[in-house]
């Protein structure tokens, strides 16, 4: 069978055309004897280019990988696929997994893959090839006559080492190196996360699988073998990125990983960690293996918002300690932050700004809260009537919430001013007491008054040609280059 993977990527910013999930599926299907093709569909890709791709490659199956922000692009693409090819259309990925009913309804979509995609796609290709019946494949939902057949979930892949390494040819991995300093290898060592943050899709997927063992790790040997191979195949690579939800989740595994990584790879790397998991041991192990950057979710600097809205349970001191552990061994840090959370006021956003000013991450990442269907946060926003039907391609641009405690323009203004404010509060903290506290109070007052002015300026900029929903500020990009974490503004 010829299967064409389409990566709908409207908010493409700086990461290039590599998608670990699709690369895993391609490797699995190739191993099963099927021919895979790939189309990277960006926000500005003209329809003609996609039609040309279909006509040239004549796939039997068009497989769309979708996150929520890409979903509104699906209907016209499914229609184009049907109009210009004989391909059956199947969708999978985070959004179809958590919202299959909505996806299967779309005209032109024949099937939806729920859960992990490897087994369902291989069974589908094999059965279509042999002319067999496809209606009872686990993880597959399909249209049959006027009905929808909803097959149950198959068990999760228990041993991730049984999977082939993600394919880096069909999806042109080397093309991602064209972008600035981003000469990096990209890997996943695990699937799943033990935490239950209300805004995240990971717990929603875990719930879908009930009591099954959701968190799985590849063996260190298996992972390091892939890293070695990629380092050798792509000598341009300067550093490696582990996209796992939390790479140091299991201390023993991480100890073994860092030991082998430092011996066999010797390149800087970056990873995600959770403040609750971070301690001196992890920091020392990470440093010994060449870790250049650790990314932490602060998300909100206000304990009440974290606990009551985000289901992230940790005191402020824990966050400060986690960053301090990294500072002590000279590992740079990145903080993820959200503004415009449900019921969040400008003052509470300032708590997040101040937390960043206190822990001084090398890279500050800020986005506007976006509730993903299937998550606890989405349900809450829906129940409380906070959700609008606005569609946004990227959560750097706009809020989909409407709430009395803060206007959308104020959220956008706070998002736009977040990083300069972190710098300002940070400078204030360097002033001796009691002037530091006094300075902070004055800035608080200034900021709350100034956001009104910012909102007016923002409106002025919008009226000069930036439509609502278009990106206002570029935000921050970073990469490890010459062993240092370099930061630059997105265009």
Which spans of this chain sit near ligand SF4 (rule: CB under 6 A)?
Answer: 193, 195-197, 200, 202-203, 245, 274, 297
Give the residue nearest to ligand B12 (CB): 92
From the list ligand SF4, ligand B12, none, pick the one residue 197 interacts with, judged by a Cβ distance below 5 to 8 Å according to partner type.
ligand SF4
- Order of strands across the sheet with 2-9? 35-42, 2-9, 61-65, 88-92, 111-113, 140-144, 147-150
C-alpha 49/C-alpha 463 separation (Å) is 33
Q: How far is the CB of 359 from ligand SF4 (least distance, A)?
A: 17
Residues in CB range of 45: below 8 A, 6 or more apart = none
From the list ligand B12, ligand SF4, none, pick the one residue 203 interacts with, judged by a Cβ distance below 5 to 8 Å according to partner type.
ligand SF4
Q: How far is the CB of 385 from ligand B12 (least distance, A)?
A: 21
From the list ligand B12, ligand SF4, none, pick the one residue 274 interacts with, judged by a Cβ distance below 5 to 8 Å according to partner type.
ligand SF4
Q: How far is the CB of 241 from ligand SF4 (least distance, A)?
A: 16
Q: Which is nearer to ligand SF4, 92 or 297 (CB)?
A: 297
From the list ligand B12, ligand SF4, none, pick the one residue 372 interacts with, judged by a Cβ distance below 5 to 8 Å according to partner type.
ligand B12
C-alpha 90/C-alpha 113 separation (Å) is 7
Q: Looking at the DSSP assignment, which residues form a beta bridge with residue 336?
A: 297, 365
406 in Cβ contact with 350 (< 8 Å): no
Q: Which is nearer to ligand SF4, 277 or 428 (CB)?
A: 277
Task: Read off the DSSP letter of residue 292.
Answer: E
Residue 90 CB neighbour total at 10 angstroms: 23
C-alpha 207/C-alpha 211 separation (Å) is 8
**Buried (b) or exposed (e) across 411-421, using 16+ Cβ within 10 A?**
bbbbbbbbbeb
Q: Indicate left, alpha or beta for 210 from its phi (over 0: left) and psi (-120 to 50: alpha).
A: left
DSSP track, 243-279 = --S-GGGSHHHHHHHHHHHHHHT---EEEEE-TTT--
237 in Cβ contact with 230 (< 8 Å): yes
SS3 call for 348: helix
Q: Which is nearer to ligand B12, 22 or 285 (CB)?
A: 22
From the list ligand SF4, ligand B12, none, pick the one residue 93 interacts with, judged by a Cβ distance below 5 to 8 Å according to partner type.
ligand B12
Q: Which is nearer to ligand SF4, 2 or 243 (CB)?
A: 243
From the list ligand B12, ligand SF4, none, pick the one residue 301 interacts with, judged by a Cβ distance below 5 to 8 Å according to partner type.
none
Q: How far is the CB of 459 from ligand B12 (least distance, A)?
A: 24
Q: Which is nearer to ligand SF4, 36 or 325 (CB)?
A: 325
From the list ligand SF4, ligand B12, none, pick the one residue 19 interacts with, judged by a Cβ distance below 5 to 8 Å according to partner type.
ligand B12
From the list ligand SF4, ligand B12, none, pick the one residue 29 interacts with, judged by a Cβ distance below 5 to 8 Å according to partner type.
none
From the list ligand SF4, ligand B12, none, pick the one residue 68 interacts with, judged by a Cβ distance below 5 to 8 Å according to partner type.
ligand B12
Q: Which is nearer to ligand SF4, 276 or 407 (CB)?
A: 276
Q: How far is the CB of 199 from ligand SF4 (least distance, A)?
A: 7
Q: Which is nearer to ligand B12, 240 or 354 (CB)?
A: 240
From the list ligand SF4, ligand B12, none, pick the one residue 249 interacts with, judged by a Cβ distance below 5 to 8 Å according to partner type.
none
Q: How far is the CB of 180 from ligand B12 (least distance, A)?
A: 14
From the list ligand B12, ligand SF4, none, pick the one residue 243 interacts with, judged by a Cβ distance below 5 to 8 Å according to partner type.
ligand B12
Q: How far is the CB of 304 from ligand SF4 (least distance, A)?
A: 18
Per DSSP (E only), the strands in 107-238 are: 111-113, 140-144, 147-150, 184-187, 190-191, 216-217
Q: Which of 421, 415, 423, 390 is nearest to 474 (CA)?
A: 415
- Distances 60 to 5, 19, 47, 87, 124 between C-alpha atoms, Å: 11, 22, 19, 4, 11
Q: How far is the CB of 299 from ligand SF4 (least distance, A)?
A: 8
Q: How far is the CB of 124 from ligand B12 (least distance, A)?
A: 8
- Distances 361 to 322, 409, 485 between C-alpha atoms, Å: 11, 26, 11
The burial of 482, by beta-carbon neighbours within 10 Å (0-12 exposed, 13-18 middle, 19 or more buried), is given as exposed
Phi, psi for residue 321 in degrees, rounded to 5? -65, -40
Q: How far is the CB of 161 from ligand B12 (least distance, A)?
A: 14
Q: Which is nearer to ligand B12, 464 or 491 (CB)?
A: 491
**Alpha helices, H only, 166-315:** 201-208, 220-233, 251-264, 280-288, 303-304
C-alpha 93/C-alpha 144 separation (Å) is 22
SS3 call for 10: coil
Q: How far is the CB of 215 from ligand SF4 (least distance, A)?
A: 10
Q: Which is nearer to ligand SF4, 181 or 396 (CB)?
A: 396
Q: Which is nearer to ligand SF4, 121 or 200 (CB)?
A: 200
Q: How far is the CB of 218 from ligand B12 (least distance, A)?
A: 11
Query: Which residues of this chain interact with ligand B12, rule CB under 6 A?
Result: 9, 11, 15, 19-22, 24-25, 63, 65, 67-69, 90-95, 97-98, 113, 116-118, 120-121, 188, 200-202, 243, 245, 372, 394-395
Task: Read off the DSSP letter of residue 45.
Answer: -
Q: Which is nearer to ligand SF4, 26 or 319 (CB)?
A: 319
From the list ligand SF4, ligand B12, none, pick the one residue 185 interacts with, judged by a Cβ distance below 5 to 8 Å according to partner type.
none
C-alpha 331/C-alpha 3 separation (Å) is 43
Q: Which is nearer to ligand B12, 237 or 443 (CB)?
A: 237
């Amino acid at each position: 069978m010829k299967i064409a993977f389409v990566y709908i990527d409207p908010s493409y910013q700086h990461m290039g055309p590599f998608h670990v999930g699709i690369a895993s599926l391609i490797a699995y299907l190739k191993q099963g004897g099927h021919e895979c093709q790939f189309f990277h569909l960006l926000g500005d890709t003209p329809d003609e280019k996609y039609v040309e791709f279909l006509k040239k490659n004549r796939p039997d199956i068009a497989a769309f990988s979708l996150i929520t922000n890409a979903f509104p692009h699906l209907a016209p693409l499914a229609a184009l696929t049907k109009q210009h090819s004989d391909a059956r259309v199947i969708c999978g990925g985070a959004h179809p997994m958590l919202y299959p009913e909505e996806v299967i309804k779309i005209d032109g979509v024949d099937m939806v893959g729920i859960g992990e995609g490897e087994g369902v796609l291989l069974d589908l290709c094999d059965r279509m090839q042999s002319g067999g019946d496809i209606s009872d494949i686990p993880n597959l939902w399909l249209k049959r006559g006027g009905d929808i057949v909803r097959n149950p979930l198959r068990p999760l892949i228990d041993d991730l080492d049984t999977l082939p390494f993600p394919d880096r040819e069909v999806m042109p991995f080397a093309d991602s190196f064209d972008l600035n300093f981003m000469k990096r290898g990209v890997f996943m060592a695990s699937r799943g996360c033990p935490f239950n943050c209300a805004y995240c899709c990971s717990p929603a997927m875990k719930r879908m699988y009930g009591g099954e063992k959701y968190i799985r790790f590849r063996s260190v040997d298996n992972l390091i073998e892939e890293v070695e191979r990629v380092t050798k195949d792509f000598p341009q690579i300067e550093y490696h990125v582990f996209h796992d939800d939390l790479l140091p989740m299991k201390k023993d595994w991480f100890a073994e990983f860092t030991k082998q990584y430092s011996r066999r790879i010797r390149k800087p790397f970056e990873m995600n960690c959770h403040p609750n998991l971070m301690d001196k041991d992890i920091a020392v192990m990470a440093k010994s293996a060449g870790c250049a950057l650790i990314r932490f979710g602060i998300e909100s600097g206000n304990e009440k918002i974290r606990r009551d809205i985000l289901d992230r349970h940790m005191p402020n001191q824990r966050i400060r300690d986690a960053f301090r552990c990294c500072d002590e061994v000279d590992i740079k840090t990145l903080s993820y932050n959200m503004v415009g959370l449900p019921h969040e006021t400008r003052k509470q956003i300032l708590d997040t700004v101040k937390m960043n000013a206190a822990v001084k991450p090398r890279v500050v990442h800020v986005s506007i809260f976006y509730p993903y269907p299937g998550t606890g946060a989405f349900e809450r926003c829906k129940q409380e009537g906070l959700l609008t039907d606005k569609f946004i391609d990227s959560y750097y641009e706009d809020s989909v919430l409407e709430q009395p405690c803060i206007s959308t323009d104020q959220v956008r203004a706070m998002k736009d001013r977040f990083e300069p404010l972190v710098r300002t509060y940070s400078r204030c903290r360097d002033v001796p007491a009691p002037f530091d506290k006094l300075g902070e109070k004055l800035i608080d007052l200034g900021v709350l008054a100034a956001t009104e002015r910012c909102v007016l300026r923002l409106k002025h900029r919008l009226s000069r040609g930036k439509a609502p929903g278009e990106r206002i500020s570029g935000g921050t990009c970073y990469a490890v280059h010459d062993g240092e974490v370099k930061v630059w503004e997105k265009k």
